[in-house]
Structure 1
Amino acid sequence: MPGPVQWLRNRERLPINPSANPSPEAGVGLIGVIFWIFILVLVVAFVVKVMPSYYDYWSLQNIVKQQAQQAGPEESAGQILYNLNGRLGVAMIHIPQKDIVIEKAGNGPVLITVTYDKIVPLAGNMSLLLHFQAKGGH
């Protein structure tokens, strides 16, 4: 068995090459950086395409709630629909009339429900189907 002095002498003769044993803190290579930038670009593109639909939905939800609260007992369902379409036109939100349901029981509260689907094209022949339902009233 070599003594401590012999061990030190052998150790001094060993070549020092830091690349022979890479440390776990070596970092990310160029391929890794390119991969993560690609993933980030995909996520940003997805958010840019989808967020306008959600913004329209949130605006629609606020408009429907306000219209249901402001509808008086003497207003007919047709008048409520006319007022709702006016507000939607100002907000530049286009909803087909068949997707808007107004329920009114006599002089009771008004319930407005808007249910619609939105198709968001992503890339090529890939699309995303979003289903929204906004309710306002009691």
Structure 2
Amino acid sequence: MTSSRQRGLSLISTLIVGAFFAFALLIVFRTVPAVNEYMAIQRILKIVAEEGDNGASVSEMRRSFDRRGQIDDVSTVTGVDLAISKQAGKTLIQVEYGRKVPVAGNVSLLIDFQASSAPN
């Protein structure tokens, strides 16, 4: 007689793997708004830098960022936070900021972002 062994995951290991995937999905779903805001900031910085290349002043660029940020629901960064400079005749706008994302209870995830108008 040959004994046949079943292969696969037991109920307990299935629950553990499921809990791990559920936690990973929770973190992904919680970080999506922060990543969307980062992408909006990145897009706005490129547009505002083009305005600077066309002769807009620093204060006009900051106001333009604030107006565009209101449209795209950017709340973490304002025009005051921008570092605006000229490099080789081109406007360079950079900003560094952190975003705290609550995960569960008193556990949070801190994400540091660095956005720039420079081409990648």
C-alpha displacement at 1:90, in angstroms? 0.5
1:117 is aligned to 98
Aligned residues: 117
Name the SS for the 1:84 alignment partner.
helix
Aligned counterpart for 1:130 among listed residues 93, 111, 116: 111
2:61 is aligned to 80
Name the SS for the 1:71 alignment partner.
helix
2:26 is aligned to 45
Q: Which runs of no fewer than 5 residues in structure 2 stay unpaired?
A: none
Larger Rg: 1
Answering whether residue 73 of structure 2 is matched by residue 92 of structure 1, we say yes
TM-score using structure 1 length? 0.74
Name the SS for the 1:60 alignment partner.
helix
What is the root-mean-square deviation of aligned Cα atoms in Å? Answer: 2.1
Matches within 5 A, 1:14-25: 16=1, 18=3, 22-23=4-5, 25=6
Superposition misfits of 4+ residues, deviation over 2 angstroms = 70-74, 96-99
TM-score using structure 2 length? 0.84
Q: Which runs of no fewer than 5 residues in structure 1 stay unpaired?
A: 1-15
Native 8 Å contact 2:84 2:92 kept in 1: yes
Percent sequence identity over aligned pairs: 26
Native 8 Å contact 1:77 1:102 kept in 2: yes
